[in-house]
Structure 1
Amino acid sequence: MSGTSSGTVLHLVRHGRPLVDPSREPSTWGLDPEHVDGLAALRGSGVLPMGARWVSSDEPKARESAEMLTDGPVALDAALREQARPAGWLEDYALRIHRSLVHQETSAAPGWETAASTCARVAAAVRDHRERAAADGVRDLVLVGHGTAWTLLVADLTGRPVDLAAWERLQLPDACTLVGDQLRRRWGAWRES
């Protein structure tokens, strides 16, 4: 990421624990009301900046997470959605995600969006949000979204291979920070503060 957007600090937030319903597409899941304590802990941790611009995936679990993390306005962006997957995909979940992250041009299972397509969509949206934030003089941009999408994005922004171990360590919720193309706060570090 070069140019004016490199001065904008990017805070990526993975949504809180969803209420899983295998009969419905994951993009329709909301938060599990029994497991919102992690969002309260993240909000109280002090790692998410005050006065930031907030943008969230329009999926319910991400939007609801953003609404629990800030009292300010949250813009919604469908381009920040998670990798598209049909209902009933939970079998062999980790294996399919790994396959998707390693073989990005190939669908990991019938009906799955390729990781390459997810990355292109999400990276283009993030570039646009960063550029607009920089043009408006916004220093901090908080984006609330999804684990696979953010894993692909971090690899794209840093120019490094996808970090499978980082994906495996992701929590619900979780957060990381990038300054320019450098990862400054790794996933999970906010829990250690």
Structure 2
Amino acid sequence: MNEKDPRAVRTKNLIKESFVKLLEEKDFKYITIKDITTKATINRATFYAHYLDKYILLEELVIDCFEEMLPAEILSATDLDEEIIKELILFLYEYNISFYEKRKIDSTSIASTVDNLLKYKIENLIEKILTGMVVRDELDSKDTNILVKLISSSVYSCAQYCYFSKNDKEYNIEKTQAFIMNGIKAVSLHTLI
């Protein structure tokens, strides 16, 4: 199937819109392919021509939303500085609000899938930024792999904490920024010794 064909694009959009409406009505685990095809007014063969199953559809929905919301300054970043870290945390915080609250989606049965996809995407972004810094700042590539994991986990955890606790978001972000930057500086100094 030609993914650029306007009919295929319209059909995929119809499937996604129908799926989102169903997610607003009931829990993911109770949504069937029949529910999706009925809501989208398509047959099962058409659904399966576009998606292997509802899990692949969910993944595409999460990634599409992520890529649509991702600020340009994060996408084009060449340095992992305080501002980019803050933007990443705020982006993930806003993503949760947009994906779950604005759409009124119950996160219970999809949280782990969404979390894993977001962690993967954030890790890739941070890895891309740090890879440029490795070459320029002569960081050790072994240290970079550890940094990617630590920074992406810290950014993600801070965003989740801010979202669920509703505590002082600015304070949490500021402290996380400081911890991450101190870690980057420590690794940079270590490689220069």
Do both share a fold (TM > 0.5)?
no
User: What's the TM-score, normalizing by structure 1?
Assistant: 0.28
User: What's the TM-score, normalizing by structure 2?
Assistant: 0.28
Higher strand residue share: 1
Structure number with larger C-alpha Rg: 2
Higher helix residue share: 2
- Asked which structure has the greater RCO (Cα within 8 Å, sep 6+), the reply is 1
